[in-house]
Structure 1
């Protein structure tokens, strides 16, 4: 359904001469992403109010979204799956942060590992959004800057005794690091398996 809406938006702008038909795939993907994010943000507000964890969800989101944009990570093929997965992830994170707001030793260990993972392997691109060499350098620098700002925010909020804010940012970075690892596995390992499987099926049909 969301893909059809994106297609209609793109076709409308093409008719108006605003877009080139050659950029079809890129813009449809971008519209899908925009619609997906808008729906997710609306769901966060609704669920946050209903579940009493709106502030935790907002802080998590403020830390998660900018870094995720430049660090990259796993992307689901269907926008509907993206909405469901994102909604579940943020709701669970919000409830977890509401009832367990104080960072533990394991939280700090996970966070330190996550900072290392993000620093080393970001950005992780997806098949719909391949980055050129220059873009990769820009995305990497921006992900480092955002990671540094967020890490500094963690230390400041710890000193100010806003422990739930510190933990919210830590959890967002842990999830991003996991997303990066899953993204690499999906694009390289599972992607190769899928390509080989498709080639095998084509060979069987030709025979």
Structure 2
């Protein structure tokens, strides 16, 4: 930006994009380090791979500051890895929580953030893309679960559960902000 490659009127946009990119890299490294600490790098990666695309289009709760977002993300991955490591799960439980969370997401997406309202055409597009990603993920969970890859399907399912919670929290926050 200093060498004049970016037009002046676009510098703020590029700076914001660079800032977001740095935050994403820091989050990614943190998730990997937490995965290493718990000896669950594969589970951490699977969770991220399934969480990020759907969350991008589903929307939902967003922390008010990047710092709060970072610490909530750490709490989220710690909770997921702890649930994978310590809880006793069955195939029926994975299918049940995936379907229930999937229905919730399907019904409520997209959930806008107050700082980033969507146009009518964006709402239609985000809904369609979120539902398509959700369908692919649910089919993936079913196929892998049937194939005996339980250790991979659990973080996949928990990503859908986590997103359903974020979508519900986002809806509640939006309703409360309208009331105020």
- Shorter-normalised TM range: 0.7 to 0.9
CA-to-aligned-CA distance 1:76-104 (integer Å, 9 cap, x gap): 11000000110121122123213347435
CA-to-aligned-CA distance 1:157-184 (integer Å, 9 cap, x gap): 1111111212211111011011001001
Stretches of structure 1 lacking an aligned partner (at least 5 in a row): 1-11, 197-207
The offset of 1:28, in angstroms, is: 6.4
2:49 counterpart of 1:66: no
Answer yes or no: is the 8 Å Cα contact 2:58–2:111 preserved in 1: yes
Q: Greater shift after overlay, 36-45 or 146-155?
A: 36-45
2:126 counterpart of 1:135: no
For the pair shown, the structure with the greater C-alpha radius of gyration is: 1
Match of 1:18 among 7, 12, 19: 7
The offset of 1:50, in angstroms, is: 1.6
Q: How many residues align?
A: 179
The offset of 1:27, in angstroms, is: 6.2
2: CA distance, partners of 1:136 / 1:122? 9
Match of 1:77 among 64, 82, 85: 64
| Map 1:113-192 → 2, pairs under 5 A | 113-189=100-176, 191-192=177-178
Answer yes or no: is the 8 Å Cα contact 1:37–1:83 preserved in 2: no
The offset of 1:135, in angstroms, is: 1.1
2: CA distance, partners of 1:166 / 1:174? 12
Q: TM-score, normalised by structure 1?
A: 0.77
- Partner secondary structure for residue 36 of structure 1: helix
Which protein, 1 or 2, shows the higher relative CO under an 8 Å CA cutoff with sep ≥ 6? 2
Answer yes or no: is the 8 Å Cα contact 2:98–2:138 preserved in 1: no
The offset of 1:129, in angstroms, is: 1.4
2: CA distance, partners of 1:18 / 1:101? 56
Stretches of structure 2 lacking an aligned partner (at least 5 in a row): none
The offset of 1:192, in angstroms, is: 3.6
Answer yes or no: is the 8 Å Cα contact 2:61–2:170 preserved in 1: yes
Q: TM-score, normalised by structure 2?
A: 0.87
